[in-house]
Amino acid sequence: MDNALAGLIAACTAFVGSHFALSHPLRAPLARLTGEKAFPALYSLVAFATFGWLVMAFRAVPPAAPLWDGLAKGPWIIATLLMLLASVLLVGSFKGNPAMPAPGAAALAAKGPHGVFHSTRHPMMWSFALWSAAHVLVSPTPRVIVLSLAMAILALVGAHMQDRKKAVLMGPAWQGWQAQTCYWPRLGALGKAGTVPWLGGIALWLVATWAHGWLIAMPAGVWRWLG
């Protein structure tokens, strides 16, 4: 392993590890030390610092030969569909999500699953995980694999840790919500997601994949064929 790739692994570990630590075991003691109002500033400072390190470390890793041809039709089509599903889950996650830190979370949980929550109670986290998988499929280079794996761990382990945290904070309300929903996504249930998540997800998918080609001069998704 060269030094550049080792640096990227270290940066990813710092970014993911600090997020977990500040969101869970270190949150309460640091919030008492800094005060509840100042803690978000500390959290943001650490997040931006480690993310900046991650970006620089990613750019420092030289291009390498991919493990397979990610531009072949099969991987590209699968990745394109994964990005569409990720977009639908992401858009749908903002409506009526009891995991969001907002008043009325217990009341939202009591309403039972709706929209994308028929598929999974962690639609936002799974959207990030699917995004990661799609990028590995089309660009299976060491630096992309390391970064994507880090983002997937952040999302999916973070979702599990969120379940435990919410069970403590919300008690029976979250336990009831958890009993009615799934951690693992049921893709067949996305048919119940509703009109807004699907239309919004398709719009986000088209715009994001178009912008991908504009920002880094590499077409993504259906724009590879639409030009």
Q: State the residue for tokens 């949980």.
A: 109
pTM, entire model: 0.91
pLDDT at res. 217: 67
pLDDT at res. 1: 65
217: left (phi over 0), alpha (psi -120 to 50) or beta: left
pLDDT at res. 36: 79
pLDDT at res. 4: 93
pLDDT at res. 215: 78
Report yes or no: 159 and 183 within 8 Å, Cβ to Cβ. Answer: yes
Q: Is 153 helix (H, G, I), strand (E, B) or coil?
A: helix
Crossing angle of the two packed helices 123-138 and 73-92, in degrees rounded to 10: 160
pLDDT at res. 46: 94
Interior angle at CA 95, CA 159 and CA 87, nearest 5: 65
pLDDT at res. 37: 82
Would you list the domain boundaries of the chain? 1-62, 67-226
Q: From CA 154, how far away is CA 152, in angstroms rounded?
A: 5
Q: What is the mean pLDDT of each run of 10 residues along the chain (227 residues)?
A: 91 96 85 83 94 96 92 94 97 93 85 94 97 96 96 96 91 93 93 94 94 79 79
One-letter identity of residue 180: Q
Q: From CA 206, how far away is CA 136, in angstroms rounded?
A: 20
pLDDT at res. 227: 64
